[in-house]
Structure 1
Amino acid sequence: MSRPTRRQALGATAGTIAGLALAGSAYATSKDSATPSRATESGHEGHGAPEAFDEVFQGRRIQGAPGSGHMHHGGGYAVRIDGRELHVMQNADGTWISVVNHYQPLATPRAIARAAVVDLQGAALVPLT
């Protein structure tokens, strides 16, 4: 039996990592989608920023607050993981994305922060320069 080539090994590893990241993101999304956001409950979608949050999720401190983010990306909403800024952006349809979950729009910045924690798998968030 021949040994796999380096290219085959790297392809299998990349596929496995992508599958695990997708499964973790789907798990975080399913847990967060069961809890409607405060904006949806009040019937005032699109009127103002989402509410602030500060919690520990899977051992990481996640925080979010209006008014202190990059104004051209997140409409003035800042999200932090362990004190480091997670760049977020609100889409035209009201969903949110981040640099970690760029192709997975979620309903709230809290959901984005939780999904990023799952995807980081304990790694530190590196600041963008």
Structure 2
Amino acid sequence: MKKITRRQALGTAAGAATALGLTALVMWDSAEPSPAPGPKAHPGVDASGLSIPAKGIDEVFEGRRIQISLAKGGGGHEGHGLPAWPTIKIDGNELHIMRNADGTWVSVVNHYETFPDPLAAARAAVRTLQGGHLAPFAPEGAAQ
């Protein structure tokens, strides 16, 4: 009977480990993604960030007034497949936001940081502004 060498045993073990790792990776990649755990959303905002009460959200955060309402269509967001889009105002000036493919949100104030919902994005903008005011934002082609 032929004995297996140490080199052959290590090669077989490495091959088996690689095959198991690749199998696990393929299975993990094809699985349905589960919602990422994160901070609990405001009672008026669900995990997608689009379920805002009909009366909207109106709160004072760190001395600044945050108002969130749903704009029906308009706002340049037609064709996104959304029936409405959140409109955020901080002390009466609009904070422009964008939804990422993974469901998170960014704003023009915190463009490199993501947030679970529009309210969290608005609160972060208030913190970042540190008492400063939002500058009016004119869409492209608008008269200045």
> TM over 0.5, yes or no?
yes
Q: Over residues 46-99 of structure 1, what are the superposed CA-to-partner deviations in whole Å (9 max), with x where a residue is unaligned?
A: 8xx231311000000001111257243995210000010000111111111100
Match of 2:46 among 39, 43, 55: 39
The residue number in structure 1 matching 2:107 is 98
2:62 counterpart letter in structure 1? Q
Aligned-partner Cα distance in 1 for 2:110–2:87: 16
The residue number in structure 2 matching 1:64 is 68
Aligned-partner Cα distance in 1 for 2:137–2:62: 23
Unpaired runs of 5+ residues, structure 1, are: 1-32
Match of 1:110 among 95, 119, 125: 119
Percentage of pairs with the same residue: 47
Secondary structure in 1 matching 2:77: helix
Match of 1:88 among 81, 84, 97: 97
**Cα pair 1:50 1:108 within 8 Å, conserved:** no
Aligned-partner Cα distance in 1 for 2:77–2:41: 26
Secondary structure in 2 matching 1:72: coil
Q: Over residues 16-65 of structure 1, what are the superposed CA-to-partner deviations in whole Å (9 max), with x where a residue is unaligned?
A: xxxxxxxxxxxxxxxxx54335423xxxx48xx23131100000000111
Aligned-partner Cα distance in 1 for 2:75–2:105: 14
Unpaired runs of 5+ residues, structure 2, are: 1-37, 139-144
The residue number in structure 2 matching 1:22 is none
Aligned-partner Cα distance in 1 for 2:116–2:75: 19
Structure with larger RCO (C-alpha < 8 A, sep 6+): 1
Please give the root-mean-square deviation of Cα atoms over the aligned residues, in Å.
2.4
1:120 counterpart letter in structure 2? L
Aligned-partner Cα distance in 2 for 1:34–1:90: 17
- The TM-score, its normalising length taken from structure 2, stands at 0.55
- The TM-score, its normalising length taken from structure 1, stands at 0.61
1:35 counterpart letter in structure 2? K
